[in-house]
Structure 1
């Protein structure tokens, strides 16, 4: 066991929406440094969803990476299932050091062209499993973390918070979780718990790979394909953030994973340094320091 793994060996994380995609990559990166990781999602077995992956497969991969993966089938649209998840963590581990809120419904119509009124109303599902589910999971996690006097809550987000990206439902969801991180940080600060929102770049996920099989999508994103992040990269950044002595100073802010990775000395799995899209897509919001209680 190396020094890094020793530091993380007693730490416990929950990563939501981890059957595949960013959640799976984040869970694997946390496992690689030795964390116990509860991975959640609705896919209990291969074939339960159109895309490959399951919570058990991710949990097994976390264990193989060097951590301890624990699969929990959980629908984050069901508050009772979410409550049971955190009760189980408390019972089995007695602590929680990290929550990564990544679960989000991605409607098939998300990237289709056209105005929002020509897309189905179920686009709003991404505000239920996304914005709302981030709040619910954080509500449970904050109680555990505040009691122990430490912890980190991370909302995965994107540049769609400040630029037009996939329409108003997607943008509203991302802007909301960014602001929630800011406001949660205010309440959590006296208890030594941090909350941040993390903008990820274009990730080479199962969904992205499938989308790029469409020639039009491949053409549209051609300039970005060569610079895509692995799904593990944001997880590597989160692991470094969890271990950062300046964590509380970073709390309440929105961070770009590429920029934070560069500052913390984190590279992607192939050694590359992913680019920031600040100049092209926009900068993280800066919120007022005013406090109204």
Structure 2
């Protein structure tokens, strides 16, 4: 009997936070996981004067310790050549790709501060470069490798900010943009065994959100009380990848808290994070018209 081929994933922006947690969950499921970040070592990021811990190398080591195979690749997703080199490395070492999680995004320290967009630093617009454009570029180079998989998946980490006002217009445009990338890429992939999905994650329990909660207690306390861990979302992504009905979902924007129970996925001690659909709105439905 032939040994089953190990599944391969790329998770962008995985030095810490959401990307790291998703990557760890995929590693715990036995996957080979390539993780990207701008620097391999600790340091270089802080929020409100607090240094954010974690590094690309730490994430790769933790993936391997969890039962998978972690591979750290230094990659600035604002540099197309580095992204091309990333997927060339995956092809040379593995020959195929099963899963791409487009998670890398530029997050400015003042993103969640109140005030109109013109009163904030212009730098906030960089989320459209590293967050939206970068997701397109990664998907472009990943596509030929995904087509070699028995069942491939591109996931975009999105949020309810795609459908309601959240953190200002740059953030909202990036999230709405990746939802549309998933919808349109799904059409291009039709009949070829690759799905594209955008996932609305709820508030995430990360070091960054913990610090932000301490600074904006009244605003974030209720949300963080029922927040999700990134590992929870990684387990949902892994379940989607291996769902025999995945292609029927392709092109949709899904709320991870809503689909998790169908895969028997919950947080520790059976806690089920709530969907915020009633409070923050519904994912946009794509019109069936096609202009080619």
Decide: shared fold, TM above 0.5: yes
The equivalent of 1:38 in structure 2 is 34
Deviation (angstroms), 1:150: 3.2
1:213 is paired with a residue whose SS is: helix
Alignment-derived partner of residue 29 in structure 1: 25
Give 2:49's aligned residue: none
Show structure 1 runs of 4+ deviating over 4 A: none
Cα deviation per residue 1:22-63 (whole Å; 9 max; x = unaligned)?
100000000011000000011311123221111110001101
Q: How many residues align?
A: 285
Aligned partner (choices 35, 39, 44) of residue 48 of structure 1: 44
CA contact 1:43–1:53 (8 Å) conserved in 2: no
**Which structure 1 residue ranges, 5 or more long, are not aligned?**
1-5
8 Å Cα contact 2:61/2:70 also seen in 1:
yes
Equivalent-residue separation in structure 2 for 1:147 and 1:62 (angstroms): 24
Q: Bigger CA drift: 194-203 or 268-277?
A: 268-277
Indicate conservation of the 8 Å contact 2:151/2:241, yes or no: no
Counterpart in the other structure of 1:164 = 165
- Equivalent-residue separation in structure 2 for 1:235 and 1:269 (angstroms): 14
Do residues 15 (structure 1) and 11 (structure 2) align?
yes
Q: Tell me, in whole angstroms, the C-alpha distance in 1 between the residues paired with 2:210 and 2:221.
A: 13
Q: Which secondary structure does the structure 1 equivalent of 2:191 belong to?
A: helix
8 Å CA contact 2:213–2:221 kept in 1: the answer is no
SS of 1:66's equivalent in the other structure is coil
* Offset at residue 67 of structure 1 (A): 0.4
1:63-82 deviation per Cα after TM superposition (whole angstroms, max 9, x unaligned): 11110000111100000100
What's the CA shift for 1:141?
0.8
- After superposition, the C-alpha distances for 1:144-177 in whole angstroms (9 at most, x for unaligned) are 1224463100000000000000010000010010
Match of 2:121?
A: 120
The C-alpha deviation readout for 1:181-209, integer Å capped at 9, x for no partner, is: 00000001121100000010101111101
State TM-score, norm by structure 2. 0.95
| Residue 234 (structure 1) aligned with residue 230 (structure 2) | no
| Structure 2 counterpart SS, 1:195 | strand
Gaps of 5+ in 2: 47-51
Tell me the residue number matched to 1:85: 86
Helix, strand or coil at the partner of 1:221 = helix
Q: Per-residue CA shift, 1:229-253, capped at 9, x if unaligned?
A: 1111110100110111110000000
Alignment of 1:53-132 (within 5 A): 53-132=54-133
Q: Is this contact kept in 1: 2:97–2:148, CA < 8 A?
A: no
Whole-angstrom CA distance in 1 between matches of 2:150 and 2:134? 24
- How is 1:119-268 mapped onto 2 (pairs within 5 angstroms)? 119-148=120-149, 150-214=151-215, 217-268=216-267
RMSD: 1.3
Q: Secondary structure at the match of 2:244?
A: coil
CA distance in structure 2 between the aligned counterparts of 1:56 and 1:62, rounded to whole angstroms: 10
Q: Which moved more, 1:111-120 or 1:155-164?
A: 111-120
